[in-house]
């Protein structure tokens, strides 16, 4: 992957010479659009070159060269630190892959969670996700190349042209300079130019992170945030399909108020862990219990016909489990799950929602009935309201019970923290902005890390070479040997790590 790789070094690094203005050989003829625009097309490569931005960038760089040099000097220090850090990480990761050591716990969590663990969802990528990735790549690469261009112009080097290209299926961009002029400036200035792309990608990550943090305040006049969840989409494969619709507002999950998507998932995880430890009861009238169906016994287990659910009567303040349920057949019956909704709650599974101070809330004509949990099944009550009714549950909306795998249920629908104050249709706008910022952050971070690697054809190659010239007293021959050894080793290790990632993806 060669996004952001700057073409301003020697002919051995570039497949296209920038000093003489020559263009690559193509299978199709070169078409000249104008004196400032040109493009070349072949069966494996196409690009679009432009010199329109040459003069504006040069004028800006020369006008603010003092401030830009300070800015890119900071970036040089950051990029060199990143190069050292990334090199150590790939060495540690390669040693862990070869079982030479177990690794550092916090580093293992980061690598497994953010790098290898993220590849498990590659098969669920949608067309919209591809669009986000393309836009994010264009923005991140443009910012990367802008860093190279501004740093070069601040040193007095004129740009020959800027270009975007597509090599096979990989997009990229480049900024071309005159190689002779580059060799005339001090090496520290050259190092600033090479480090500028990484530094700009890091700055873009910071801007995205700050914008994401401030997004609720930015959208406050038009959107509310963190009051409750709005449903954006319910897949036909979701167990909630037919119960929730786009525009519905989820207010509570099992009696706990839900404000954000993070709370939605956190509460789901907590309920999944506690499903066999607590009892959620309802005060069901004894007459309704008397009219319920008796359970059937299959393979020494109680089962209910049709869509009925197993219930058992419990003491308001006592904990029971499945083994107790099986010992008292006379207290087990089959009842429709939705039949208990609206009844008073009892038992110890509702947390602070039910406070009876040791006294049962059920009357003498009622019994505290609790659903019997089975392995992998959780009983969850979801309270919602319709969008046009706001959060006033007493006017419209209501509650329903979900019985099944709560984690799969929570992931099966798309929800957002934002609610439009005016029109429902525009609720997608902050969601799009939020997702685009997240994708730009990840792509820009990936570009910064990739170009920090000491491998061939990326910025790390030039940074390593020039840095050794600036900050070491090695002879040219030894320096060349060190550079080649680092590049060959770094390239091989990165290829092995990429192969390992691909193997993990295919194996899943």
In order, the DSSP letters of 106-128 are HHHHHIIIIIIGGGGGGGG--HH
DSSP letter for 207, please. Answer: H
3-state secondary structure of 476: helix
Across the beta sheet with 159-167, the strand order is 31-32, 37-41, 45-50, 159-167, 170-177
Instruction: Please tell me the distance from the alpha carbon of residue 189 to that of residue 177, in angstroms, as a whole number.
Output: 14
Task: Give Rg (Cα) of the chain.
Answer: 31
In angstroms, the CA 306 to CA 223 distance is 44
Q: Which helix H or strand E contains 174, and what residues bound it?
A: strand 170-177
Closest CA to 244 of 259, 261, 256, 231: 231
What's the CA gap between 338 and 318, in Å, rounded? 24
| Contact (Cβ atoms closer than 8 angstroms) between residue 487 and residue 455 | yes
**Is the CB of residue 414 less than 8 Å from the CB of residue 231?**
yes
Round to whole Å and give the CA distance between 346 and 339: 15
* C-alpha to C-alpha distance for 452 and 461, rounded to whole angstroms: 8
- Three-state DSSP class for 335? strand
The span from the CA of 217 to the CA of 223, in Å, is: 9
User: Can you list the positions of beta strands (E) in 178-240?
Assistant: 223-234
List the structure tokens of 22: 């020559």
For residue 21, give the 3-state DSSP assignment: coil
Catalytic site includes residue 145: yes
**Crossing angle (nearest 10°) for helices 65-97 and 428-452:** 80
Q: Residue 344 is encoded by which pair of tokens?
A: 């008073």
Looking up tokens 């003489």 gives 20
Between CA 64 and CA 72, with CA 68 as vertex, the angle to 5 degrees is 170
- Distance from chain centroid for Cα 446: 12
DSSP per-residue codes, 300-359? TEEE-STT-EEEEE--TT----HHHHHH-GGGEEEE-GGGGTTSPEESSTTGGG---TTS
Give me the half-sphere count of Cα atoms (radius 13 Å) on the Cβ side of residue 455.
19
Separation between Cα atoms, residue 437 and residue 431, nearest integer Å: 10
Could you say which of 145, 160, 381, 465 is catalytic? Answer: 145
Residue 167, both tokens: 């090599």
Active-site annotation, residues:
145
């Amino acid at each position: 992957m060669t996004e952001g790789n700057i073409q301003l070094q020697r002919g051995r690094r570039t497949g296209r010479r920038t000093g003489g203005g020559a263009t690559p050989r193509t299978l199709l003829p070169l078409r000249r659009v104008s004196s400032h625009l040109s493009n070349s097309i072949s069966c494996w490569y196409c690009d679009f070159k432009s010199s329109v931005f040459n003069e504006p960038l040069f004028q800006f760089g020369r006008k603010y060269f003092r401030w830009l040099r300070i800015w890119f000097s900071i970036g040089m220090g950051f990029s060199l630190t990143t190069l050292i850090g990334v090199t150590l990480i790939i060495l540690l990761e390669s040693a862990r892959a070869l079982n030479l050591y177990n690794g550092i716990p916090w580093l293992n969590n980061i690598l497994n969670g953010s790098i290898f663990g993220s590849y498990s969802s590659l098969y669920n990528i949608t067309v919209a996700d591809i669009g986000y990735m393309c836009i994010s790549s264009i923005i991140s690469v443009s910012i990367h190349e802008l860093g190279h261009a501004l740093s070069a112009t601040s040193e007095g080097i004129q740009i020959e042209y800027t270009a975007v290209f597509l090599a096979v299926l990989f997009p990229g961009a480049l900024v071309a300079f005159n190689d002779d002029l580059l060799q005339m400036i001090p090496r520290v200035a050259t190092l600033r130019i090479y480090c500028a792309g990484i530094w700009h990608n890091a700055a873009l990550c910071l801007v995205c992170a700050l914008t994401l943090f401030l997004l609720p305040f930015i959208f406050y006049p038009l959107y509310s945030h963190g009051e409750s969840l709005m449903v954006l989409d319910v897949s036909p494969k979701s167990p909630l399909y037919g119960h929730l619709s786009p525009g519905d507002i989820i207010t509570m999950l099992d009696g706990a108020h839900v404000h954000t998507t993070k709370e939605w998932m956190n509460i789901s995880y907590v309920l999944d862990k506690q499903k066999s430890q607590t009892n959620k009861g309802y005060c069901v009238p004894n007459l309704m219990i008397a009219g319920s169906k008796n359970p059937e016994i299959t393979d020494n287990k109680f089962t209910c016909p049709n869509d009925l659910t197993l219930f058992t009567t419990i003491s308001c303040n006592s904990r029971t489990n499945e083994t107790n349920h099986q010992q008292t057949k006379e207290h087990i019956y089959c009842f429709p799950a939705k039949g208990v909704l609206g009844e008073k709650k009892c038992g110890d599974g509702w947390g602070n929602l039910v406070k009876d101070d040791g006294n049962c809330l059920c009357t003498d004509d009622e019994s505290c009935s609790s659903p019997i949990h089975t392995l992998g099944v959780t009983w969850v009550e979801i309270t919602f309201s319709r969008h046009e009714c706001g959060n006033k549950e007493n006017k419209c909306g209501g509650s329903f019970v979900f019985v099944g795998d709560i984690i799969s249920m929570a992931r099966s629908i798309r929800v957002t923290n934002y609610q439009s104050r005016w029109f429902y249709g525009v609720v997608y706008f902050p969601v799009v902005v939020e997702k685009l910022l997240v994708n730009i952050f990840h792509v820009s971070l990936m570009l910064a890390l990739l170009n920090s690697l000491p491998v061939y054809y990326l910025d790390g190659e030039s940074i390593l070479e020039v840095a050794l010239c600036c900050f070491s007293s090695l002879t040219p021959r030894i320096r060349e040997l060190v550079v080649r050894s680092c590049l060959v080793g770094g390239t091989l290790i990165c290829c092995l790590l990429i192969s390992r990632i691909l193997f993990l993806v295919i194996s899943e």
